[in-house]
Amino acid sequence: MADAKPFQWEVTPEPITKEVFRIEGGRPLNGTVPISGSKNAALKLFAAATLTGERCRFTNVPEIEDVRVMTETLQDLGVVVDHPAPNVYEVASGDVEWLFVPLEAAAKMRASFMLLGPLLARFGRVIISNPGGDRIGRRPVDLHVDAMRTLGAEISYRNGYYFATAPGRLRGTEIRFPFVSVMGTENAILAATLADGHTVIRPAAQEPEVDDLIAFIQKMGAEVQRTYPDTIEINGKRRLRGADHRVIPDRIETGTFIVAAAVTGGKLRLEGAPCDHLGRFLDVVASTGLSVSCGKDSIDVDATDVGPGAFRPTDVTTAPYPGLATDLQPPTCVLLTQANGTSRVHEAIFEDRLEWLGELRRMGAGITLLDDHHATITGPARLRGAEVEIGDLRAGASLILAALAAEGVTTIHGAHHVHRGYENIERKFLDLGARIERLAEGNDSTNS
Ligand code: EPU
């Protein structure tokens, strides 16, 4: 370990440039929009690249804040991350000299905890901060830690940090999760690839991003298979090699643009976005009466016939894949504000992920929050411009959707949250005919 580096227990958060979106709504969106690579796939691929000293090359990486944070986090460990062209990154972890993932990284992004499994498996030790992430409720990491312990790691927790060591190699074993966890599954997979022997993970998350991670590490030489829909088996290897990989399209961005067409009464082609990964979201969309046609590598959405206000109400519950993604709950709620009648929403994955509906209600939506996990939405609402605040990135993107559908001007505070996960979002909306600006906080003049 390099000893010149200060051992930073505490962190003063970097000042955030406060920005607002100013949106003049009421215009149908039309045209073609390119869908970027998946945030939640790319971040794990970068973590997986630390399993080898050889160079890994990723294309279709979204240019977003979370990728920038992951890049910086890796560079602080001594990993070389090159960015030779837009959306292309090369990660070479030959000289990892600092097995310490600080609070600074963890406070910005929960996915920093994805470095636990690979660093522990390859180097036999890591000190890693308890992660933060979005304001969507308590988000513990006990399943990750328990999985590592099951693989033979010794882990203690002091001063907000996990101190993990693996005397000798990790040992293949059966990992039984009490319920499905996406990153818990991914961390366990990455750790098990370099463990001694055979590992079975059950119930394993079935999200497309998990399968993208598996596809990549198979190219690295890992012996890993999904043997049943909810079971992943791994035969540990002594070493892995570098590989190239193209990140899958972002299914959450895809769903966001589908709703954008719907609530503005527009017509969009989503390019580079197959329907395959949308799971139950497509059924929800169909039951509202919105027409979506799936091409080989694109999706067409035409809401010019249905028109906002004429959708059918639909009850929805979020669930692990292939259920309705919790990350698509916010855009789905915006769609339901335009349904003729009452829809019930059950957010089953996270607590506090319905809080943002208070902001949507300020824009005129007919929303009743029943408890932390349940709400009703009664439409069709005539949404109107308002001053609202973003709490997390998915809610933020969804407030943009509501603003695009609303009459008048909306000012959305907290624009920086959205840039964590959406590449060039205002440019994409502008190209479709939206009136959206990103301004420094304080320079916004709101007419609503
Ligand atoms: N949970 C625990 N203990 C753990 C891990 C999870 O109690 O150790 C709980 C969580 O609190 C939650 C449930 O298990 O109630 C499921 O959480 P999961 O572990 O599946 O979520 P995650 O892996 O932390 C990923 C995505 C989230 C997405 C969820 C669910 C990444 C980087 N994040 O989080 O994405 O909502 O899966 O699909 O992949 C986003 O992109 O905006 C985002 C929040």
pLDDT digits (tens, 9 = 90+) for 61-75: 999 999 999 999 999
277 Cβ inside 6 Å of ligand 1? no
Tell me the average pLDDT of the chain.
Answer: 93
CA distance linking residue 240 with residue 223, whole number of Å: 10
CB of 349 closer than 6 angstroms to any ligand 1 atom: yes
Query: What is the 3-state secondary structure of the chain?
Result: CCCCCCCCCCCCCCCCCCEEEEEECCCCCEEEEECCECHHHHHHHHHHHHHCCCEEEEECCCCCHHHHHHHHHHHHHCCEEEEEECCEEEEECCCCCCCEECHHHHHHCHHHHHHHHHHHHHHCEEEEECCCCCCCCCCCCHHHHHHHHHCCCEEEEECCEEEEECCCCCECCEEECCCCCHHHHHHHHHHHHCCECEEEEECCCCCHHHHHHHHHHHHCCCEEEEEECCEEEEECCCCCCCCEEECCECHHHHHHHHHHHHHHCCEEEEECCCHHHHCHHHHHHHHHCCEEEECCCEEEEECCCCCCCCECCCCEEECCCCCECHHHHHHHHHHHCCECEEEEEECCCCCCCCCCHHHHHHCCCEEEEEECCEEEEEECCCCECCEEECCCHHHHHHHHHHHHHCECEEEEECCHHHHCCCCCHHHHHHHCCCEEEEEECCCCCCCC
**Ramachandran area for residue 328 (φ above 0: left; ψ -120 to 50: alpha; else beta):** alpha
Q: What is the pLDDT of residue 257?
A: 98
Query: Average pLDDT in the 225-229 region?
Result: 98
Partners of residue 156 on adjacent β-strands: 163
Q: What number does the ligand 1 atom closest to the CA of 114 have?
A: 32
* Residue identifier of the C-alpha nearest atom 8 of ligand 1: 141
Ligand 1 atom index nearest CA of 349: 15
C-beta of residue 34 within 8 angstroms of C-beta of residue 272: yes
Residue pair 397/42 in contact by the 8 Å Cβ criterion: no
Per-residue pLDDT reduced to its tens digit, 266-289: 999 999 998 999 999 999 999 999
Angle between helices 65-77 and 39-48 in degrees, nearest 10:
10
Question: What are the φ and ψ backbone dihedral angles of 51, each rounded to 5 degrees?
Answer: -75, -15
Could you tell which of 64, 65, 139 is best to mutate to test the pocket of ligand 1, judged by most ligand atoms within 8 Å of the CB? Answer: 139
Centre a 10 Å sphere on the Cβ of residue 86 and count the other Cβ atoms it contains: 8
Q: pLDDT exceeding 90 applies to what percent of the chain?
A: 84
Q: What is the mean pLDDT of residues 25-50?
A: 98
- pLDDT score at 37: 98
Q: What pLDDT, on a 0 to 100 scale, did the predictor assign at position 411?
A: 97
- pLDDT value of residue 447: 34
Which of 408 and 8 is assigned the larger pLDDT? 408
CA angle 439, 25, 333 (to 5 degrees): 100
Give the C-alpha separation, 216 to 113, whole Å: 19
pLDDT at 408 over 50: yes
Residue nearest to atom 43 of ligand 1 (CA): 327
Are 96 and 78 a contacting pair, CB within 8 Å?
yes
- Percent residues over pLDDT 70 in the chain: 94
Provide the pairing of β-strand 125-129 with 161-165: antiparallel
Residue 110 Cβ inside 6 Å of ligand 1? The answer reads yes
Q: Comparing 15-19, 38-42, 387-391, which segment has the lowest mean pLDDT?
A: 15-19
Q: Rounded mean pLDDT of 79-98?
A: 95
Q: Is 134 in the pocket of ligand 1 (CB under 6 A)?
A: yes
Q: What is the pLDDT of residue 332?
A: 98
Residue 136: what pLDDT? 47
**Pairwise CA distance, residues 365 & 225, whole Å:** 45
Residue 317 has pLDDT above 90, yes or no: yes
The C-alpha atoms of residue 252 and residue 394 are separated, in whole angstroms, by: 9
pLDDT at residue 329, as a whole number: 98
pLDDT band, residue 104 (cuts 50/70/90): confident
Q: Is 111 in the pocket of ligand 1 (CB under 6 A)?
A: yes
pLDDT at 98: 86
- pTM of the complete model: 0.95
Q: Are strands 198-202 and 174-176 parallel, antiparallel or unpaired?
A: parallel
Predicted local distance difference test score (pLDDT) of residue 26: 95
pLDDT at 294 over 90: yes
Distance 180 CA to ligand 1 centre (A): 9
Our answer on whether the CB atom of 327 is closer than 6 Å to any ligand 1 atom is yes
CA distance 50 to 338: 46
136 CA closest ligand 1 atom index:
44
The predicted pLDDT at position 3 comes to: 35
* pLDDT (0 to 100) of residue 274: 86
> Cα(414) to centroid of ligand 1, in Å?
22
Q: Which atom of ligand 1 is nearest to the CA of 141?
A: 8
* Spatial distance between the Cα atoms of 312 and 339, rounded to a whole number of angstroms: 5
Q: Give per-residue pLDDT as tens, 154-186.
A: 999 998 899 999 988 999 999 999 999 999 999
At 440 the pLDDT is 87
Task: Indicate if ligand 1 lies below 6 Å from the C-beta of 183.
Answer: yes
| Lowest mean pLDDT segment, chosen from 104-113, 273-282, 313-322, 392-401 | 104-113
329 within ligand 1 shell (Cβ under 6 A): no
CA-to-CA separations, 422 to 5, 90, 391, 416, 439, in angstroms, rounded: 33, 21, 15, 10, 17
CA of 400 to the centre of ligand 1 (A): 23
What's the pLDDT band for 138 if we cut at 50, 70, 90?
low
User: What confidence score (pLDDT) does residue 445 get?
Assistant: 44
Instruction: State the Cα–Cα distance between residues 420 and 111, nearest whole angstrom.
Output: 12
Rounded to the nearest whole angstrom, what is the distance from the C-alpha of residue 182 to the centroid of ligand 1?
6
